[in-house]
Chain A
Amino acid sequence: MVIKVENLVKRYGDLIALDHFNMELHEGEVLGLLGPNGSGKTTAINCILSLLKYDKGNIEIFGKPMSPDAYDIKRDIGIIMQNVAVFEELTVYENTDYFCGLYVTDKKKRRALVDEAIEFVGLKDFKKFYPKKLSGGLLRRLNIACGIAHKPKLIILDEPTVAVDPQSRNNILEGILRLNKEGASIVYTSHYMEEVEQICSRIIIMDKGKTIAAGTKDELKSMIKAGEKVTVKVYQPNEGVLTGIRSLNNVISAEFDGEMLVVKCGKGSHNLMMILEHLKANDIRFGKVYSEPPTLNDVFLEITGKELRD
């Protein structure tokens, strides 16, 4: 077990930021902490890192209790903060070397590690650049280089793709998967469900400081009633047709917005065919047709009654 968190409680006055939060990270896993802003993801990370005091609970990392002076544990942890944590006065190389130097004292060894980290994040051509000369995406990559240069066994990434363009975001996500393949266990927090779905082998969905669901993405999706969502472009359906669709077996809801008909169905393999046959039978012309499996947002919506990004 890489991380084990049991019954973690953190209060800010009357506000409960973490409410008996539990978490486990197994070796080689990419664990996603998914939840809306304010759900307690960053608070959980800061407690795990022993930066924040907490009111109750136990935290173990690599099988040992975590504390601020557990230097042997900290040596194997890499942290990538939500805010870019680099010094404006140091170049890309110097920033990476400075933070790596807090973990690795051997200069020669460090030089090789810093070069490797800079190459890993694709900043080889920007070694002598100061942070203010870098774009937002490159800056995020530097932030990552500073956190991984010492080759940690556990990497914690707290929303590393916030305010990053899609291309840089893909680079970052690919990099995280590469780090995982090289042996690092990873905790990844985000409120972007697509990212979490893309890279995480297991996901914890959080809301109001609590774990509301946990498992692989398939396990999470199987927890809810909703199956696929069928969207059809239809021409002039009457209310009778809509009522007919709503009464079909396995249909949960059907809405028409003047152009698109959106039908939410339960789990089943013939939903799309059933809907299209009903439209044909009623002489309703239709155009584009989409069928989407349920998303993590649907999971969140069904459990909490609100959207992930509300």
Chain B
Amino acid sequence: MFAHIYLYRLKCIVRDKQVVFWTLLFPILLAVLFEMAFSNITKGEVFKEIKIAVVDNEAFRKDIHFQEALKAVSTEADGSRLFDIRYASKEDCINLLKDGEIEGYIYCENGIHLEIKNNGLNETIIKSFLDDYQQTAATLQTVMAQNPEAMQKGLIDEIAKRKDYLKEVAASHSEPDTAVHYFYTLLAMACMYGSFWGLKEIYAIQGNQSAQGARVCAAPTQKMRAFAASLLAAVTAQAAIILIVLLFLIFALGVDFGNRLAYVVLTCLVGTVAGVTYGTFISILSHKSEGIKVGTLIGTTMLFSFLAGMMYDGMKLIINNNIPILGYLNPVNLIADSFYALYFYSGTTHYSLNLMILAAMAVVFGLITFLVLRRQKYASL
């Protein structure tokens, strides 16, 4: 009996084109749109070498130490470099700066000078480099003048060394990426769209909600067994859908979910159960029409997604700073935050907390559904 109901409910779910569109195709389409919209955000975060020019004059040619210092920061020794340097006459440098082809140019004439056109991050970096070089050069000159013997004892190497006395322990094992948050929220929203299946299954077995449900109730079938089979069918279908969306995000759009995929899949499963039971919960509590219930599910899921930062990533921060409890009551936020915790943090404390709250939510939704559903007679049909 259980298998009979399960298989037929699964058939009904898979053949419901409208809900399949909203649960499967809609998130995929939205993900493609996100990819188109957010690809520039990621590109903007990648550091690009700063284009500068150096006036190739007599004074520069004589300053071998400065030439070496420039060479050290403009060659790709470890795959990255600070400056992309051109050597040219002063006139050419002025023209390059005017045309915006370089951020600034350096010239040596009674010291080292910097000419820039605007003030910005890149200009600050060039300035910092020159200050650092000039400070080190001045230190060395002072030491040479006052204690030339020290130079023989490897002082130059010591000064050139940059030693940090603070050890940086990375909280994350991944690079921060603003765009992934949008995709995580999108996948979380897709999990919550499992609520449509929950709603559909309640309709199929509740005697006071549909004629089909009344027929099921009039049959010699244990209602809880019918409900369990229906719920399992809904979870199976939604889990498969979420897996497809996840694979699409990873392989087609290249969204980075970190390297703990088993946990990601676990989050999707718990999120799916929470989504489906949320649908049964809304459906069982209300006696309104199906349209109103569907509207309620769409409306609340979109609100959850908005508060979790799907439309504006700063919203998550606003909620965290002002009403943190709301973040823990928002299933979309819990799912998305779990993905982010797996991606960004090395530990699993934050992730586990999110997942436990989400699982507790699913249990509460399921329990309330069970308590209402086990009532076997209705006051009205």
User: Chain A residues in contact with chain B, CB under 8 A?
Assistant: 12, 46, 49-53, 68-69, 71-72, 74-75, 77, 79, 81-87, 89-90, 94, 97-99, 101-103, 105, 146-147
Give residues in B with beta carbon < 8 Å to A.
1, 4-5, 8, 11-13, 15-16, 204, 207, 210-212, 214-222, 376-381
Given contacts A53-B378, A89-B12, A90-B8, 15 further A-B contacts (CB under 8 A): A12-B380, A51-B218, A52-B377, A52-B379, A68-B217, A71-B221, A79-B214, A82-B211, A85-B214, A90-B15, A98-B8, A99-B219, A102-B1, A102-B216, A146-B215
Cβ–Cβ contact B220 & A52, under 8 A: no
Q: How far is the CB of A3 from chain B (nearest CB, A)?
A: 14
Closest 5 CB pairs of A and B: A68-B376, A85-B211, A71-B220, A102-B219, A89-B15
Which of A46, A84, A105, A146 has the largest count of B CB atoms less than 10 A from its CB? A46
Q: Do A79 and B381 touch (CB < 8 A)?
A: no
Q: Please indicate the chain B residues that have their CB under 8 angstroms from the CB of A94 in the complex.
A: 8, 11
Q: A162 CB to closest chain B CB, in angstroms? A: 12
Picked from B12, B207, B211, the residue with its CB within 8 Å of the CB of A83 is B211
A53 and B219 form a contact (CB under 8 A): no
- Chain A residues contacting B218 (CB-CB under 8 Å) are 49, 51, 74, 77, 79
With A89-B16, A94-B8 in contact, do A53 and B379 touch (Cβ < 8 Å)? yes
Residues of B within 8 A of A86 (CB): 212
Q: Which of A51, A71, A98, A146 is within 8 Å of B377, CB to CB? A: A51
Q: How far is the CB of A94 from chain B (nearest CB, A)?
A: 7
User: Interface on chain A toward B: helix, strand, loop, or mixed SS?
Assistant: loop
Closest residue to A86 on the B side, CB-wise? B212
10 contacts between A and B (CB under 8 A): A49-B218, A51-B207, A52-B377, A52-B378, A52-B379, A74-B219, A82-B211, A99-B215, A102-B5, A103-B219
- Cβ contact within 8 Å between B215 and A81: yes
Chain B nearest CB from A2 CB (Å) reads 16
Q: How far is the CA of A128 from the CA of B4 in the complex (A)?
A: 19
| Neighbouring B residues of A50 by C-beta, 8 Å | 376-377
Return the chain B residue nearest A150 by Cβ: B219
Q: What is the chain A residue whose CB lies nearest that of B15?
A: A89
A168 to B214, CA, bound (A): 25
Partner of A46, one of B12, B204, B381: B381
- Least distance between A69 CB and chain B CB atoms (Å): 7
Nearest-neighbour CB distance to chain B for A147, whole angstroms, equals: 8
Q: Which residues of A contact B204 (CB under 8 A)?
A: 87
How far, in angstroms, from A77 to B217 measured CA to CA in the complex?
12
Selected from A46, A75, A84, A147, the residue in CB contact (under 8 A) with B220 is A75
Query: How far apart sit A81 and B13, CA to CA, in the bound complex (Å)?
Result: 23
User: Do residues A74 and B207 form an inter-chain contact, with CB atoms below 8 A?
Assistant: no
**Nearest-CB distance from A276 to chain B (Å)?**
53
Contact call A105/B4, Cβ cutoff below 8 A: yes
* A residues less than 8 Å from B220 (CB atoms): 71-72, 74-75, 102-103
B-chain residues with CB within 8 Å of residue A51 when the two chains form the complex? 207, 214, 217-218, 377-378, 381
Report A161 CB to chain B, min CB distance, Å.
16
Contacts of A82 in B (CB 8 A): 211
Complex Cα distance, B217 from A99, in Å, reads 11
A98 to B8, CA, bound (A): 7
What is the bound-complex CA distance between A85 and B209, given in angstroms? 12
Residues of B within 8 A of A146 (CB): 215
Task: Report Cα–Cα, A257/B341, bound state, in Å.
Answer: 87
Measured CB to CB, the closest approach of chain B to A66, in angstroms, equals 11
B381 to chain A: closest residue by CB: A46
CA distance A39 to B8 in the complex (A): 37
Interface centre among A83, A87, A103 (most CB of B within 10 A): A87
C-alpha gap A52/B211 in the complex (Å): 14
A51, A84, A90, A103 — which one has the most chain B CB atoms within 10 A of its CB?
A51
Across the interface, do B219 and A68 meet the contact criterion of CB distance under 8 Å?
no
Which residues of A sit under 8 angstroms from B4, Cβ to Cβ? 98, 101-102, 105
Given A90-B11, A94-B11, A53-B377 contact (CB < 8 Å): yes
Q: Do the beta carbons of A101 and B1 come within 8 Å of each other?
A: yes
- Say whether A102 contacts B221, CB under 8 Å: yes
Contact of B212 (CB < 8 Å), options: A46, A85, A97: A85
Distance between A229 CB and nearest chain B CB, rounded to angstroms: 39
Docked pose: A110 CA to B341 CA in angstroms: 52
A94 to B222, CA, bound (A): 21
Query: Which of B11, B12, B380 has a CB less than 8 Å from the CB of A52?
Result: B380
Q: How far is the CA of A91 from the CA of B222 in the complex (A)?
A: 25
Which residues from B are CB-within-8-Å of A102? 1, 4-5, 216, 219-221
Complex CA distance for A68 and B208, rounded to whole angstroms: 14
Chain B residues lying within 8 Å of A85, measured Cβ to Cβ, are: 210-212, 214-215
The answer to whether B216 and A84 touch across the interface, beta carbons within 8 angstroms, is no
Residues of A within 8 A of B11 (CB): 89-90, 94
